[in-house]
Chain A
Amino acid sequence: MKKLILVLSTLAVVLAACSGGESSSSEGDGGGDSTQTLTAWAWNINIPVMEEAAERFAEENPGFELDIREQGTPDVYEQITTGLQAQGDGLPDIMLIEDDRVQGYLNNFSDAFLALDDYGFAEDHSDKFPEFKNELLSLDGSTYGMPFDAGPGGVFYRTDLFEEAGINADEIETWDDFIEAGHVLRDELDVAMTGIDINNDDGVYRMMLNQQETFYFDEEDNINLTSDESIRAMEVVQTLDEEGLNENLVGWDAWLAGLADGEVATAPSGAWLTGSLTEQAPDLEGKWGVFPLPAFEEGGNRAANLGGSNFMINADTENPDLAYEFMEFFSTSEDVQLTAMEGGLFPSLNTIYDEEAFTESVAYFGDQQIWDMFAGMMDEIPPANYTGDYSIARDEAETAQSEVAEGNDVQEALENAEDRLSNRINN
């Protein structure tokens, strides 16, 4: 009996001790004891550029420190969402948020993010960023974030396989050409054209919507899944799948593996894929190239965006001025943004597009000037209206995509998706 009480009380003491011991840095939003310290959440490839920026910023602001916590994606959004639902508890001063999450957060928690209007971010800097990014980060006329990297879309393709099959990438101007090339590839080499994850990823469909200046929603936030553009885009996916040109690679890892081992010859994707390819498939150096997305008719728009991320500042930060100053420096410093490219990120700051880093040829891509090509697209990328309902819209679009792949009528599948989506939004 006495022994047990002794054990229990020891445990109580131990437990109490560990609660006290580490609590000094318990709240992320305080930013530590110094008024010159900011906390930030970001994921792996962004860390080096943030460290670099903090170092440069500290040169002019002695004592400045940036406390970066490396997060994984998509788990970081569990943490952000929990924090936002708990009225901003425990959130860092600065958060990195991907394009497709921004509007959802802004619509549901607009008070949680620092509006940058008082600081004049839009007046001073909006011309330095592409139109689609500026629109993405604003809600009801206010700006809530700073653009970081973008994902101008292109078709990554295996130059060696194309050559072997006798396909000229320059001649692929429309999605019809793309499909035709897919047939040649299948007949000649028995290689799949694309590796779209039919049931879980509608990225290609989304890029096709974006390039046609539409999205899940139109400009007035009405659901727009049954537009002519949407039907045309979904038909391309259906054709690729039905005619055996698509290899259904489930999940990111399988897709990347398919690209690395030559199972799939092209990847319509964002510019950030360069980083993944050079890291995960170094053996294929010189065998990749990029051409712009095919258009829907000859001479049509070939620019679209997939992915990219932005920095947003916590409205409850103790240091809004410092946070703004640092992030303004981060976003508009040419040197900082150039270091971002080392990790394969494509900066959306357009004042650096004439730098050498953008015009040089890239060995991995057979000395093609891919950065120059991507940079040229940035101004052509139409804004996409994500709205606060993006994630459920995407869910329904992906359901429609899998129905279409099973042979259902495109129009019908999209009408059903539209009905389901409007039910979910109204409930």
Chain B
Amino acid sequence: MRQSTTKRFLGKLGMYTLLTIFLIISVFPFYWMLVGSTNPSDKMISSPPTLTFGGQFMENLVNLNNTVGIWRVMFNSLFVAGLYVVIALIVSTAAAYAFAKFQFKGRNTIFIIMILSMMIPYQATIIPLFQMMSAYGLLDTYFALIAPQLCYPFAIFLMRQNFLAFPDSLLESARLDGAHEFKIFTKIVLPSMKPALAATSIFLFMYQWNNFMWPLVAIRTEEMYTFPVALSTLNGVSYTDYGQMMMGISLATIPIIIVFLILQKHFISGMLGSAVK
């Protein structure tokens, strides 16, 4: 009896030690980021490393705002990512529902082509996309930032897998009761898909929030900068202000943490749900 208690205690101790180590590994970069945002640039590369908060918070913030206009950047990023999530979610949910629940000619072919398109490297599409946007005079607009990836194959795939698990008999009984196809979709199917919708939203939001390559070439003026592009301009050939950089990264992290915290419950159950099925 006693032996097994000791054993269990040791097991728990081992587990918690391991968890503590992982916790430190995952939390330390965030801590370091916050430390960096309150210290002058040269403190970030000093030895021994600076691990305490400094008094440069406001100065870094003001400098960063002077360099890239950070509130405008925050607005751009939130606006682009927010609008993108809403539209892309509508597009991918509708497409996924069709792929999952309707029989039509060429359904599987179209689906396979769409899945295969995930294998085209993003970089290969940049130049044709750039030429297209340039020809229509759409460079440097929110439209250019939001439109190109509205149909995001992975999001469609993810939603389709979830719709597949939805029982057909429920749809049939709804049809027998005289419900319109659209009503079935919005009133019966979607409400039970909240976890999947949350998971897809987080994917879409993260994708657009972190998107760098395309905004980098599509944006022409400072007024349109999103976070990744604005932060990249802080990099010089021989000089980078790490204080400003860390401040910028800290600010860029806040919204994504908020979004994740709000959707976290759904997100995890959504992931688990699809894993069990």
Q: Is the CB of B237 within 8 A of A25?
A: no
CA distance A281 to B46 in the complex (A): 8
Q: From B46, B130, B234, B236, give the contact of A89 (CB < 8 A).
A: B130
Q: Does B173 contact A (CB under 8 A)?
A: no
Residue among B42, B139, B146, B238 having the largest count of chain A Cβ atoms under 10 Å: B238
Residues of A close to B235: CB separation below 8 A = 43-44, 72-73, 75
Q: From A22, A253, A272, give the contact of B237 (CB < 8 A).
A: A272
Choose, from A13-21, A52-60, A220-228, A410-418, the stretch at the interface.
Answer: A13-21
Majority SS at the chain A contact face: helix
Choose, from B23-31, B99-107, B212-220, the stretch at the interface.
Answer: B212-220
Residues of B close to A19: CB separation below 8 A = 138, 141-144
Q: Does B83 contact A (CB under 8 A)?
A: yes
Residues of B close to A272: CB separation below 8 A = 237-238
Q: Does A45 contact B (CB under 8 A)?
A: yes
Residues of B close to A15: CB separation below 8 A = 83, 87, 142-143, 146-147
A17-73 contacts to B (CB < 8 Å) = 18-23, 25-28, 43-45, 69-73
Q: Is the CB of B137 within 8 A of A86?
A: no
Q: Size range of the interface on B?
A: 35 or more
Q: Does B17 contact A (CB under 8 A)?
A: no
CA distance A369 to B170 in the complex (A): 85
Q: Does B41 contact A (CB under 8 A)?
A: yes
Q: Is the CB of A23 within 8 A of B137?
A: yes
Q: Size range of the interface on A?
A: 35 or more
Question: Closest Cβ of chain A: how far from B231's Cβ, in Å?
Answer: 8
Question: Closest Cβ of chain B: how far from A41's Cβ, in Å?
Answer: 10
Q: Is the CB of B140 within 8 A of A283?
A: no
Q: Is the CB of B126 within 8 A of A11?
A: no
Q: A18-B143, A22-B141, A78-B213 are in contact. Are A70 and B233 (CB under 8 A)?
A: yes
Residues of B close to A142: CB separation below 8 A = none
Residues of A close to B238: CB separation below 8 A = 45, 272-273, 275-276, 307, 344
Interface residues of A (CB under 8 A from B): 1, 4, 7-8, 11, 14-16, 18-23, 25-28, 43-45, 69-73, 75, 78-79, 82-83, 85-87, 89-90, 98, 253, 256-257, 260-263, 272-273, 275-276, 279-283, 307, 309, 344
List 14 additional A-B contacts (Cβ < 8 Å) besides A4-B182, A15-B146, A18-B143.
A1-B182, A15-B87, A69-B221, A70-B67, A70-B222, A73-B236, A79-B216, A83-B130, A86-B127, A90-B130, A260-B47, A262-B47, A280-B41, A307-B238
A selection of 16 A-B contacts at a CB cut-off of 8 Å is A15-B83, A18-B146, A19-B143, A21-B142, A23-B137, A45-B236, A73-B235, A75-B233, A86-B127, A86-B130, A86-B131, A86-B134, A87-B131, A280-B45, A282-B42, A307-B237
